[in-house]
């Protein structure tokens, strides 16, 4: 009898569990029906999960309120001014600043090959050891004589405030279909890239970067030149390549760069100079220029990529029209991490100007890793 009673109790419990489950499902169905009814009659709004690519609240508020309407209240703005917000403007959100940076890399040739350092202060400083650390060989139990001490030199790349001042009409800003964020990032990046292209190559170093062509240059070999002085190779002919075997001068230029720096080295020249070199052939009739076979891939010269920078000078008497080197090692670009922007609807009514600034510096930091070809 005990066994029968146990089985009956277990069976009864199972029936009760099923009934409880059915009651729960019925309750859920009732709640779901009530929720659908409220959505249908507009009592509550249906909530859907955010799709990929939805902008963050910070960017949406920055674009919809500050850029379009100039409303500062309720928007998370980072003031850059020393005393008032209007002095330095506001730091743009990270997403917009990233879009500006990506465009700069795509259209600014030197930025794409140089060493770019993000800094949080006005100036970037780098210590460089000159002379190396002397060393020597000794026996296992011999005395270790003291070695010399290297000399450290501080390098502070010349810098200045780079600015862009694109304008849009208030009618454009009021148009909901006008993508203010994309337009602003593209306009700022285009203006920045145009100014950078000149400064990184031949900037004077006065309130702007010091271009590598504006750096001192000499024929002196590595280890014998003053720090910051680049070595140039002469063509032996004013304003031209030699009439016989002109490609030999390009080989001399490549071999003047020490082997460790040749890994990652590139040629830099403008399209006019490139058109001259593309016609050079070896003695067996083969072109020394190899065009890129894939869209976007750079052409190569003597096995090294060619970067076309239109701000490089044309071939002329005493011109430094071709550079070859490892710019990651040789040229440093230091820039503030944030781009600041100031909305100005008053200067040029009915247009609204967006005054964007960024502190950027640049200078040769390793004069052994970049060589120049001089047409002299």
User: Rounded to an integer, what distance in angstroms lies between the CA atom of residue 246 and that of residue 322?
Assistant: 14
Residue 155 forms beta bridges with which residues?
126
Q: Given this model, what pLDDT does residue 92 score?
A: 78
- Which candidate, 24, 83, 72, places its Cα nearest to that of 342? 72
* Structure-token match 């550079």, residue found: 323
**DSSP H or E run through 201:** helix 180-202
Query: DSSP letters of 277-308?
Result: HTT-B-TTS-BSEE--SSTTPPPEETTEEEEE
Q: Which pLDDT value is given to residue 1?
A: 46
Q: What is the pLDDT of residue 96?
A: 82
Cis peptide before 350 (omega within 30 of 0): yes
Residues with Cβ within 8 Å of residue 228, at least 6 apart in sequence: 215, 216, 363, 364, 367
What DSSP state is assigned to residue 204?
A: B
Kindly state the tokens that stand for 258: 């020490």
Beta bridge partners of 341: 90, 356
- Residue ranges for the chain with pLDDT beneath 70: 1-24, 35-58, 73-89, 121-122, 129-133
pTM, whole model, 2 decimals?
0.75
**pLDDT given for residue 106 in this prediction:** 83
Q: What is the mean pLDDT of the chain?
A: 83
In the block, which residue shows the tokens 């729960």? Answer: 24
Q: Which domains does the chain have, with CATH numbers?
A: 57-131+147-208+336-364 (3.30.2400), 217-332+369-374 (3.30.2320)
Nearest to 96 by CA among 104, 106, 85, 84: 104
The number of CA neighbours under 13 Å toward the Cβ of 18 is: 6
Q: What is the pLDDT of residues 54-92, one digit of tens each?
A: 455 567 777 777 788 787 766 656 644 443 344 456 777
SS3 344: strand
Q: Is the Cβ–Cβ distance between 332 and 308 less than 8 Å?
A: no
Q: Check: CB of residue 114 under 8 Å from CB of residue 333.
A: yes
Q: What is the pLDDT of residues 19-64, one digit of tens each?
A: 666 666 777 777 777 766 666 665 555 444 443 344 555 677 777 7
Q: Which two tokens stand for residue 96?
A: 């917009």
């Amino acid at each position: 009898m005990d066994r029968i009673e146990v089985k009956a109790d277990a069976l009864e419990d199972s029936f009760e569990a099923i009934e409880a489950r059915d009651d729960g499902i019925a309750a859920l169905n009732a709640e779901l029906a009530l929720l659908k009814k409220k959505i249908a009659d507009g009592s509550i709004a249906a909530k859907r999960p955010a799709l990929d690519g939805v902008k963050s609240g910070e960017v949406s508020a920055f674009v919809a309120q500050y850029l379009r309407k100039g409303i500062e209240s309720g928007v998370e703005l980072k003031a850059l001014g020393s005393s008032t917000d209007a002095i330095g403007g506001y730091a743009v959100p990270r997403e917009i600043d990233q879009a500006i940076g990506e465009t700069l890399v795509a259209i600014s040739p030197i930025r794409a090959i140089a060493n770019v350092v993000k800094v949080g202060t006005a100036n970037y400083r780098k210590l460089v050891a000159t002379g190396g650390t002397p060393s020597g060989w000794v026996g296992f139990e011999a005395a270790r004589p003291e070695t010399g001490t290297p000399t450290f030199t501080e390098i502070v790349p010349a810098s200045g405030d780079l600015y862009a001042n694109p304008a849009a009409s208030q009618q454009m800003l009021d148009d909901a279909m006008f993508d203010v964020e994309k337009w602003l990032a593209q306009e700022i990046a285009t203006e920045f890239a145009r100014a950078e292209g000149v400064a990184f190559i031949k900037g004077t170093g006065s309130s702007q970067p010091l271009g590598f062509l504006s750096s001192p240059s000499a024929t002196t070999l590595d280890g014998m030149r003053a720090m910051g002085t680049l070595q140039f190779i002469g063509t032996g002919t004013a304003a031209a390549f030699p009439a016989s075997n002109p490609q030999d001068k390009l080989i001399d230029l490549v071999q003047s760069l020490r082997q460790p720096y040749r890994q990652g080295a590139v040629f830099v020249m403008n399209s006019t100079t490139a058109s001259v070199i593309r016609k050079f052939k070896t003695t067996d009739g083969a072109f020394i220029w190899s065009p890129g076979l894939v869209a976007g891939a750079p052409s190569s010269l003597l096995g090294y990529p060619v970067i076309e920078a239109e701000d490089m000078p044309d071939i002329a008497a005493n011109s430094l029209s071709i550079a070859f080197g490892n710019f990651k090692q040789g040229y440093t670009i230091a820039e503030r991490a944030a781009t600041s922007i100031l909305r100005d609807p008053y200067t040029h009514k009915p247009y609204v100007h967006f005054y964007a600034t960024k502190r950027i510096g640049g200078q040769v930091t390793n004069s052994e890793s970049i060589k120049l070809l001089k047409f002299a």
